[in-house]
Amino acid sequence: MTAVPEIAFSDFQIKRNNTAHHTNETGDSRLFVRRGQPFFITVHFKARGFQPGQDNVIFLVETGPWPDESAGTKAIFPLSKALNKTMWSAALENNGSNSTVLIIHSPHTAIIGQYQLKMQISSGTKTTNYNLGTFMLLFNPWCADDDVFMANETDRQEYIMNDYGFVYQGNHNWISPCPWNFGQFEDDIVDISLKILDKNLNYIQDAFKDLACRNNPVYISRVICAMINSNDDNGVLQGNWSGDYTGGVSPSAWNGSVLILRQWFKSDCQPVKYGQCWVFAAIMCTVMRSLGIPTRVVTNFDSAHDTDQNLLIDEYYDLTGNKLNKEKKDSIWNFHVWCECWMARRDLPPGYGGWQVLDPTPQEASNGTAEERKVFEKALSRLHKGGPMIPNSNRNENENINRANETSANGITPSPGGSSGYTPRNQDPNLNRPLREALLLLKFKLTESPQLGDTISLVLLAGNLISTAKTLKLSLSAQALKHDGKPAQQFWKDSVYVELRPHEEKILLFKIPYAKYGPFLEDNNLIRFIAIGEQSITWEKVLVEKDVNLALPTVAINFLGPAAVDRPCKVEISFSNPINEEIRDCQVLVQGSGLLKKQVKLNMGTMKPGQKAVVSFEVVPCKVGYKQLQVNISSNRFNGLKGFKSVVVKP
């Protein structure tokens, strides 16, 4: 009777396969392969090897708790003479006396996830089954038939392989790069990403159907988008725009996605506290890249949040220039961050594939939950009706005289209770008044860009544009703004009367010291200055505003020696207290995929005004190539002081 070949062990050729599938950054302990591309396995036998004419081999791959062929979560296929790239198939690469090298090919439409690979060998009437092991199957931007195929290698390196980058913040006049550790190749991130999929509401309600849809990047994108925030489910991150982050972490203090994802996973999938738009988007970018979907983080400045979708943003001010918090939720965010993912759209007419806009920040309900409405970039240029968040291209603040005219007397509320004489914007004839009819010019200008701790020097230009003299009352004020446009407490106001001869311009200088504005700042260090000009005879009012971002001091980061794999290298960080008062609870947080296994936390205690602090620590790089170290410094007076240092790690 013929004996069945007995398997001694199997070798998944992890280093060879992971390199070929562009997943070698995840390490060499597990197999990560991409669909639509072959991978190789060596099977070693005990007594005798595989004999093609005598032995029959059948393979089985399965994923999920209830594998089923009809759902695509299970496939049974024989060892063939040639591969069939449209389905799961296997062939011989070479066959020796005691070992066989097999080629396994997955279809480009395969479901992503963790798979079991089993092998059945039969000879004559005897059959033996073996569990060869597990592997991860991901989307494949290198496969021309995959829906996430991206033709340009430079783009693939940026939107799949780059594990660090920048998220841009600030406003359109002051754009600030925030370094971010995406860390999609950390050894547990794919597992966490799959866990996120398993926690989504669709899986809970119908796991069989949910798993069957996991070959579709459109479906995966929508599920991940909903699961990044904690609205309606046990998503990854809880949003908080209140300014009070008790019981959690300030959104400005995060350096990267890895720590957040691990905390969510280790806490039995309880939402991590807290995040805002850039944190939501950066985490989604990490998850999508880890699964193989090309993704980028996009910042839109002066983002109009139009809750009732009438394409108007209504802002309310009292006569002192104080911006009011009204029940109406319209707002203009100084920046908003979302994700764009690259994929084909077979569910839409031709031409709509490519970058798809997905916004994981919970804002307006969509499809019955807080999952944001998905729109695609090409359609943005065709929209005749806006969505919840639209680029506010018409907002030009004090640089546009017509902007000042639009905020006319009818748009200024005399008291927080409102004005019964308010005229709706679309019925106000002043809104369409040509620019040449403007009677008055008001314009703000900074004498220099201020840094946190500086005295802010602000110039207001007042100009009479007609041939009649004017007496003008100027009411000025300032208040901190949250990055979503919501005002904080007014901390400064002043008023002056100005006489303007025909066509005369006057310049007024105002100085606001740190002691006046410092205690009121939000994490984003953004201040809005308002000036209301009121004529003494006609009572016509003009409003101008200027948003000022206070720059934070530079963080100096230096590697005190060459960076090489498995060799300790000392790093030095230094910065100075920028404000004229003592700061307490100074803390430095450091991350960097490939440089540090976990976050480094350094406590620096108290710093006197102007004091320079220097701290050092050691990194032991574990991966070669370009790497980035991200640093965040916080204290009782400020958060989100960022720094970064790029370095090339040698073998």
| pLDDT band, residue 325 (cuts 50/70/90) | confident
Using a 10 angstrom Cβ sphere, with 0-12 exposed, 13-18 middle and 19 or more buried, the burial of residue 34 is buried
488 has pLDDT over 90: no
Tell me which of 424-438, 502-516, 617-631 is least confident: 424-438
**Catalytically annotated residue among 143, 178, 225, 277:** 277
- Contact predicate 507/441, CB 8 Å: no
517 sits in which H/E element: helix 514-517
Count of CB atoms situated within 10 Å of the CB of 500:
22
18 sits in which H/E element: helix 14-20
| Residue 170: DSSP 8-state | E
Q: In this structure, what token pair is assigned to residue 555?
A: 């963080």
- d(CA 285, CA 180) in angstroms, rounded, equals 11
Dihedral (C-alpha) 601, 603, 609, 611: value to the nearest 10 degrees?
-80
328 has pLDDT over 70: no
| Residue 561: DSSP 8-state | S
Best CA proximity match to 149, nearest among 354, 376, 375, 356: 354
**Mean local confidence (pLDDT), 513-523:** 94
In degrees, rounded to 5, the angle at the alpha carbon of residue 153 between the alpha carbons of residues 152 and 155 is 70
Alpha helices per DSSP H over 118-269: 153-156, 189-198, 201-205, 207-212, 217-228, 258-266
The residues pairing with 512 across neighbouring beta strands, listed in sequence order, are 456
Task: Kindly write down the DSSP assignment for every residue of 573-637, as one continuous string.
Answer: EEEE--SSS-EEEEEEEEE-TTT-SS-EEEEEEEE-TT-EEEEEEEE---S-EEEEEEEEEE-SS
Per-residue HEC secondary structure of 61-105 comes to EEECCCCCCCCCCEEEEEEECCCCCCCCEEEEEEECCCEEEEEEE
**Mean local confidence (pLDDT), 534-540:** 80
- Contact predicate 94/103, CB 8 Å: no
| Residue 127: DSSP 8-state | E
**Which SS3 state, helix, strand or coil, does residue 338 take?**
strand
pLDDT at 452: 94
Task: Kindly write down the DSSP assignment for every residue of 237-291, as one continuous string.
Answer: EEE--SS--TTS--GGG--BSHHHHHHHHHTTSPPEEEE-HHHHHHHHHHHHHHH
The residues pairing with 40 across neighbouring beta strands, listed in sequence order, are 103
- d(CA 469, CA 462) in angstroms, rounded, equals 13
Q: Which residues, 6 or more positions from 435, have their beta carbon under 8 angstroms from its beta carbon? A: 401, 402
- d(CA 416, CA 514) in angstroms, rounded, equals 28
| Residue 430: DSSP 8-state | G
pLDDT at 381: 43
- d(CA 56, CA 365) in angstroms, rounded, equals 55
pLDDT at 416: 31
Tell me which of 237-251, 436-450, 457-471, 615-629 is least confident: 436-450
pLDDT tens column, 580-592: 999 999 999 999 9
pLDDT at 647: 97
| pLDDT band, residue 302 (cuts 50/70/90) | confident
pLDDT tens column, 562-579: 999 999 999 999 999 999
- d(CA 315, CA 392) in angstroms, rounded, equals 14
410 has pLDDT over 60: no
**Which SS3 state, helix, strand or coil, does residue 502 take?**
coil
pLDDT at 327: 60
Residue type, 373: R
pLDDT at 48: 87
**Catalytically annotated residue among 21, 305, 336, 483:** 336
In degrees, rounded to 5, the angle at the alpha carbon of residue 211 between the alpha carbons of residues 205 and 212 is 115
**Mean local confidence (pLDDT), 146-163:** 98
- d(CA 616, CA 571) in angstroms, rounded, equals 6
Q: Which residues, 6 or more positions from 22, have their beta carbon under 8 angstroms from its beta carbon? A: 34, 142, 156, 160, 161
443 sits in which H/E element: strand 440-446
- d(CA 595, CA 205) in angstroms, rounded, equals 41
- Contact predicate 263/159, CB 8 Å: no
φ, ψ dihedrals at 385, nearest 5°? -135, 130
**Mean local confidence (pLDDT), 30-48:** 96
How many H-runs (helices) and E-runs (strands) does the chain carry? 11, 32
Which of 227-236, 561-570, 636-645 is the most confident on average?
Answer: 561-570
- d(CA 430, CA 436) in angstroms, rounded, equals 13
* Average pLDDT taken over every residue of the chain: 87
- d(CA 476, CA 368) in angstroms, rounded, equals 44
Residue type, 353: G
- Contact predicate 11/44, CB 8 Å: yes
pTM of the model: 0.88
* Catalytic annotation present for 336: yes
Of the chain, the percentage scoring pLDDT greater than 90 comes to 72
457 sits in which H/E element: strand 456-464
pLDDT tens column, 420-469: 333 333 444 444 444 345 678 899 999 888 999 999 999 999 999 989 99
pLDDT at 535: 85
pLDDT tens column, 212-222: 999 999 999 99
378 sits in which H/E element: helix 377-380
**Catalytically annotated residue among 55, 147, 233, 359:** 359
Tell me which of 45-49, 219-223, 304-308 is least confident: 304-308
φ, ψ dihedrals at 647, nearest 5°? -150, 150
342-358: burial string, b at 16+ Cβ within 10 Å, e else: bbbbeeeeeeebebbbb
Identify the structural domains of the chain with CATH numbers, from first to last. Answer: 7-138 (2.60.40.10), 153-317+325-391 (3.90.260.10), 397-549 (2.60.40.10), 556-649 (2.60.40.10)
Q: Which residues, 6 or more positions from 491, have their beta carbon under 8 angstroms from its beta carbon? A: 478, 479, 480, 516, 517, 519, 520
- d(CA 298, CA 359) in angstroms, rounded, equals 10
